[in-house]
A and B are shown apart, each in its own frame.
Chain A
Amino acid sequence: MLQVKNLHVSVDGKPILKGVNLEVKAGEVHAIMGPNGSGKSTLGHVIAGREGYEVTAGDILYRGKSLLGMAPEQRACEGVFLAFQYPVEIPGVNNTYFLRAALNAQRKYRGQPELDSMEFLRLVREKLEILHISDDLLHRAVNEGFSGGEKKRNEIFQMAVLEPALAILDETDSGLDIDALRLVADGVNRLRSPERAMIVVTHYQRLLEHIIPDRVHVLADGRIAASGDADLAIKLEDQGYAWLEQGGIVALNKMAGSHGGRRAGA
């Protein structure tokens, strides 16, 4: 589904990603962890096509095609979705109106007929039910005045409606209390499917107690320092990122080589 190859990215001339390699297959959930400033969010943004990031080397292949030449909307239409760490408040744009416009833009791109408002409403109700989200967010302006939890739930709701093939969740757990976290994680778990790949970017392990990843990658100083299974996240949580920076990478890599152990949250 996704192949990130030797990706180098700079912002304002300053290198942030320094050779990231990553492969995510359909049906897999990968977690990307790492300390602040390690480049986690940059990776998500570059895949989604945000401006201001300069790819100096490497490539991002999605279903065999390079994403780098594509505008953000084209990537979205191809099935790439980024759940924002800080969803933007857009006063004056109704949530339902916006989402229908977005879905229809994607359907048009794929040569599918656009949904009229009745068809769209039916789809939306179905998704709300699956995610156990109340329908009051339909009537409000996009994210305006939403609590932190509501904003993140709205991201998951958008993901459910747009049904991307590749979803990147950028620190979806930040700023959430445990109940909101559980709701969001439940939503994500319901959207796991053999056709869909997900990348969960997070600073803390706690989200991964609810969304069990197939693979965990540790990003440090712009590179993937270690990769492993769900246990890697637990180890990181126990030791903290400081330990990682003080030479723990060697230990991590050893761990990553071993298998078994307890699964987080199990």
Chain B
Amino acid sequence: MNVPANATAANLAENWAESLRSGQLEQGPSWLRTLRSAAASEFLLHGLPGNKDEAWKYTSLRRLEDLNPALGVTGTGVDAAEWIPLLSPAGGFGFRFVDGHLQWLHQQAPQGVSMLSLQDVLSATGQDQLNHLRPLLEAVDVGGRGHAFEALNTALLRDGAIIHVAAGVDAGLCLAQWGLGGRADCRLANFRLIIILEQGARLQLLEQFQDAGQPADKPGNEPQKNAGQALNLMLQAQLAADSVLQHVRLQSAASTSILLTFSDVHQAARSSYTCTGFDVGGGLVRHDINCRLAGDGARAEVNGAFVLDHERHVDHHICIDHLAPSCSSEQFFRGVLGGSSRGVFNGKAVIRPGADGSRVRQSSANLLLSDLAEIDTKPELEIYADEVEASHGATVGSLDEQAVFYLRSRGLGDTAARRMLTVAFCRAVTARLPDAAMAEQIAAVLEASMPKLG
């Protein structure tokens, strides 16, 4: 059946309805089938969010509608082995999800770390493990239009990976590599990543999202008009007491790609979650990051830098929920927007009653390099507890002309001076990475992605 090129949101949900009803996802026990079908019903009932939904006010799904991807995956030939990630740090275990196929990377996971494919767990032999995951899988809120993609992710639950780190184990570096694009037919791939850190466990997670057809959407080039792909990724992380998850994301997908990520991080006492994300590509990108600081002294830090050109659209929606006393959280974002790109930052921190002695910091600073670029920035604080230390700030501006003159007066050309200052602006975020070599590599990626000036 031919589908019109510009389906409306309703049409898109309609097009997906058949796949959702057809019951092709019969794997798993009955409770899981019930979970899937309940999520499918929610999705079919509410459909996709629109600009009347507060959380989607600045981010239209028009591009997803235009792309009109079918659900599910059919491999048509991008070889995961030929896919070259931008960052290749030494060592690291992990996986690659390219062209709808999960592939383990060569290095074995260290002792105390288990890495499983969700599909394997869904098979008859994995029932025990699946039962352990049940509370986690059932905890996903799929109700209402605002949770359409979580509902879709649950309804289509099949592809995924589970990483478990035993108590006290330092798992080292885990690589998660996502290939987008490169295929002839448009698909919305669906993936669930589950990370469980037991008490005192540590993990570094390096995620890279890029076009499967080429190493990266080469900065400065006009967007390629290849068939786009979409990925609906949900990350669920459970951090037991004193565990540490260091999460780095580098997204350099093609302009035609659509990426939707939803992270739910549940944190017990004194656990620490640091997410530092870099977006230099993609067509439509939405990151939802929710952290629940449920135990005393837990700490969450969500940092991000985005360097956008052309018509890219990157939206960050962050909510850090302080539920226990003496927790701290920080959101630190830097955005550089050129072309007719658009950025959205909606960073919220909620200090619940009883979460006394919380510390919250939020900072969002943005540079607009073109008259057509746009940023919507909205830091939000809701405080219902006592003795809370909170600061927040948001700025939108252009480069400091005094600094530009200073550099030019030393011999640097206007463009070189502006570029140097713009990269420096983003280095405030790379400087937060614990690995200096990786920070330099990512700074170089940011620099190479800088929009043309003027």
Taking Cβ atoms with an 8 Å cutoff, the residues of A that contact B are: 48-51, 71-73, 75-77, 81-82, 84, 87-88, 90-93, 98-99, 101-103, 105-106, 109, 141, 158, 162
Contact = CB atoms under 8 A, between A and B. Distances in A.
Given A71-B414, A90-B403, A48 B428 contact: no
Contacts of B250: none
26 contacts: A48-B409, A49-B408, A49-B409, A50-B405, A51-B405, A71-B408, A71-B414, A72-B408, A73-B414, A75-B409, A76-B410, A76-B411, A87-B406, A88-B400, A88-B402, A90-B406, A90-B407, A90-B421, A90-B424, A91-B428, A92-B428, A98-B420, A99-B410, A103-B411, A106-B411, A109-B411
A92 B402 CA distance: 16
A70 B172 CA distance: 55
B413 interface: yes
Contacts of B401: 51
A92 B423 contact: yes
A101 to B, nearest CB: 6
A84 B403 CA distance: 11
A73 B408 contact: yes
B436 interface: no
Contact of A92 (B410, B413, B414, B427): B427
B425 interface: yes
Nearest to A92: B424
A86 B413 CA distance: 21
Given A73-B417, A162-B410, 17 more contacts: A50-B405, A50-B409, A72-B409, A73-B411, A73-B412, A73-B413, A76-B411, A81-B410, A90-B407, A92-B428, A93-B421, A98-B407, A98-B410, A101-B416, A105-B412, A109-B411, A158-B410
| Shortest 8 CB-CB contacts between residues of A and residues of B | A92-B424, A92-B427, A102-B410, A76-B411, A72-B408, A88-B406, A106-B411, A105-B411
Interface string B197-230: 0000000000000000000000000000000000
B431 interface: yes
A102 B407 CA distance: 8
A56 B111 CA distance: 77
Contacts of B402: 88
Contacts of B403: 88, 90
Interface of B: 400-403, 405-414, 416-417, 420-421, 423-428, 431
B35 to A, nearest CB: 47
A158 to B, nearest CB: 7
B447 to A, nearest CB: 11
A81 B104 CA distance: 58
A230 B411 CA distance: 32
Given A102-B412, A105-B413, A72 B405 contact: yes
Given A73-B414, A93-B424, A84 B406 contact: yes
A92 B431 contact: yes
Among B409, B423, B427, find the residue whose CB has the most chain A CB atoms closer than 10 A: B409
A93 B420 contact: yes
A77 B428 contact: no
A91 B424 contact: yes
Contacts of B400: 88
A18 B291 CA distance: 64
A99 B401 CA distance: 19
Contacts of A109: 411
Nearest to B430: A92
A138 to B, nearest CB: 16
A98 B118 CA distance: 49
A82 B423 contact: no
A77 to B, nearest CB: 5
A192 B428 CA distance: 39
Contacts of B412: 73, 101-102, 105
B57 to A, nearest CB: 32
B314 to A, nearest CB: 21
A95 to B, nearest CB: 11
A93 B419 CA distance: 11
A165 B426 CA distance: 35
Nearest to B400: A88
A72 B417 CA distance: 12
A162 B412 CA distance: 12
A160 to B, nearest CB: 13
A262 to B, nearest CB: 37
A93 B418 CA distance: 12
Most chain A beta-carbon neighbours within 10 Å: one of B405, B417, B421: B405
Q: Which of A90, A99, A106, A141 counts the most B-chain CB atoms under 10 A from its CB?
A: A90
Nearest to B424: A92
Contacts of A71: 408, 413-414
Nearest to B406: A88
A102 B406 contact: no
A77 B408 CA distance: 10
A141 B403 CA distance: 13
Contacts of B405: 50-51, 72
A137 B410 CA distance: 17
Contacts of A72: 405, 408-409
Nearest to A52: B401
Contacts of B406: 84, 87-88, 90
Contact of B409 (A82, A98, A101): A82
